[in-house]
Amino acid sequence: MLRRKKKIGNEAAGYLFIAPYYLFFIYMLLLPILNTVINSFTNYDLYEKRDFVGLRNYVDLIHDSLFIQALGNTLFYSVLYIIPSMGFGLLLALLLSNEGKGFKFFRAAFYIPYVISMVCASTIWMWIFDPANGILNQILKVFGQPGGTWLKDPDIAMYCVVFVSVWKSLGYCMLINMSGIKGIPGYLYEAAQLDGANRFQRFIHITLPQLSSTTFFLFITSCISSFNVFEQVNVLTAGGPLNKTTTIVHQIYTRGFTQFKMGYASAMSVVLLLIVSIITLVNFKYGNQGKDIDIG
């Protein structure tokens, strides 16, 4: 009887300790999501209007050319962002995973951009890309090359936005890959070396397979972050020029807080939530693949 009471007391204490997290989750995440879903079926305008309109917002989304363009831009951004950030992140991890002199400095140098906020990073690069007084054009002039308009050019503006995103996230991808590399047993490389395998063969047959879970983790998190891209777009281009860089989240912000069509923006948010939820479910089903991922 005494043990049972002690067990019940321990369980109650445990629930008491985790209660603040669940209260925060319900109040700050779950309720806003439910409220957004409800608003998506209304014509809510942030003020007095909040009439039920059924599926009209979702039907309008299908015929909204700007939303379709934003969806296409987001997919285009995702492809341009995920592949270089993961590829160069792995390359940096391989180059800087040694413990020799100077490696800590370079690891810290590549990781610092990830620590600063995206708004700060975007502001810095906005000055660099400035066509009149930007550092980039000044450097090109030194070498006798004409400067570009960069963020004002519809053909290259998205590439500039992607470059800033890759530059900022490179240190994070490097760190995660380094954690994976550190977890690979050394005897695998020793055995392969005794069998005559060179560095490239060891990378292909040992490093890449052992990093499969880490790679999939980075792929899923990169997909989710790329679909939620907003700050760099809003700061660098404001969705322009000619809506070439507008994304789903940027359209949600514009429709909700600029045009005051919060019901319509909520419908966009629900569509985005469904996309991100599908990606997350794929991660739960296939991401770990029976292996633990050490990201500490």
Nearest Cα to Cα of residue 269 among 26, 66, 40, 29: 40
Query: Distance between CA atoms of 253 and 43, rounded to whole angstroms?
Result: 16
pLDDT in tens, 205-252: 899 999 988 888 898 889 889 999 999 999 999 998 999 999 999 999
Question: Are residues 224 and 88 part of one domain?
Answer: yes
Same domain membership, residue 96 and residue 21: no
Alpha carbons 218 and 93: distance in angstroms, whole number: 13
Q: For the chain, give the number of residues.
A: 296
Which tokens belong to 260? 């005051």
Identify whether residues 12 and 88 lie together within a single domain: no
The predicted pLDDT at position 195 comes to 84
pTM for this one? 0.86
Measured CA distances, 173 to 216, 251, 296 (Å): 12, 28, 13
Looking at the fold, whether 26 and 143 belong to one and the same domain comes out as: no
Q: Which residues contact 203 (CB under 8 A, 6 or more apart)?
A: 94
Structural domain range at position 78? 56-287
Phi, psi of 52, rounded to the nearest 5 degrees: -70, 130
Q: How confident is the model at residue 277 (pLDDT cuts 50, 70, 90)?
A: confident
The answer on 33 and 62 residing in a single domain is no
Per-residue model confidence (pLDDT) at position 10: 67
pLDDT greater at residue 99 or residue 8: 99
- Residue 71 sits in the same domain as residue 163: yes
Q: What is the mean pLDDT of the chain?
A: 88
- Could you give phi then psi for residue 131, rounded to 5 degrees? -70, -25
Residue 293, φ and ψ in degrees, nearest 5: -110, 115
Distance CA 214, CA 180 (A): 6
What pairs with residue 42 in β-bridges? 52
Residue 22 lies in a domain: yes
**Domain co-membership, 121 together with 205:** yes
Bigger pLDDT: 200 vs 287: 200
The tens digit of pLDDT for each residue in 66-109 reads 999 999 999 999 999 999 999 999 999 999 887 767 788 888 89
Looking at the predicted structure, is the pLDDT value of residue 290 above 80? no
**Model pLDDT, residue 9:** 63
32 and 147, same domain (yes or no): no
Residue 188 has pLDDT above 60, yes or no: yes
Closest residue by Cα to residue 263 from 3, 2, 78, 59: 59
Going by the DSSP 8-state scheme, the letter that residue 116 receives in this structure is S
pLDDT tens for 223-235 read: 889 999 999 999 9
pLDDT at 1 over 80: no
**Assigned domain for 164 exists:** yes
Q: Is residue 195 in some structural domain?
A: yes
Asked whether the beta carbons of 52 and 42 are under 8 A apart, the reply is yes
Q: Are residues 7 and 119 in the same domain?
A: no
Express each pLDDT in 151-179 by its tens digit: 999 999 999 999 999 999 999 999 999 99
* 3 state SS of 129: coil
pLDDT at 143 over 90: no
Work out how many domains the chain is built from and give that number.
2
Per DSSP, 259 falls in state: S
- Could you tell me if residue 296 is inside a domain? no
Is 65 in the same domain as 211? yes
Look at residue 16 and tell me whether its pLDDT is greater than 90: no
